[in-house]
Amino acid sequence: FTNKVSGGGQPNAIIYVKNLPWATSDDDLVELFQTIGIVERAEVQYKANGRHRGAGVVQFGSQGDATTAIMRLQGYSYGGRPLHLNYARY
């Protein structure tokens, strides 16, 4: 789900979130983004060595919820860091 994903994709139900605090967990992503809509899946990205990449992927129940998340949470300060959100590209 998180392998080989980046931002800048066409509008869809999956978003790519960058600039996450290092302590962010999968559950933290769900908690943050369920304020927007139904989160079907959310995972933090890790490097091959197991280190946190500071990024994650969130799949919503609809493209509309993904669009709303990008509009509402772009630049949102989460753990003291401004979030950068885009549609996911595989």
pLDDT in tens, 23-62: 999 999 999 999 999 999 999 999 999 999 999 999 999 9
Task: Summarize the confidence of residues 6-23 as an average pLDDT.
Answer: 97
Give a yes or no: residue 81 inside a domain. yes
Give me the CATH number covering residue 26: 3.30.70.330
Give a yes or no: residue 53 inside a domain. yes
- Full domain range(s) for residue 67: 6-89
Task: Summarize the confidence of residues 75-80 as an average pLDDT.
Answer: 98
Banded pLDDT at 84 (limits 50, 70, 90):
very high
pLDDT of residue 64: 98
Query: Which is more confident, 4 or 82?
Result: 82
Residue pair 25/52 in contact by the 8 Å Cβ criterion: no
Banded pLDDT at 88 (limits 50, 70, 90):
very high
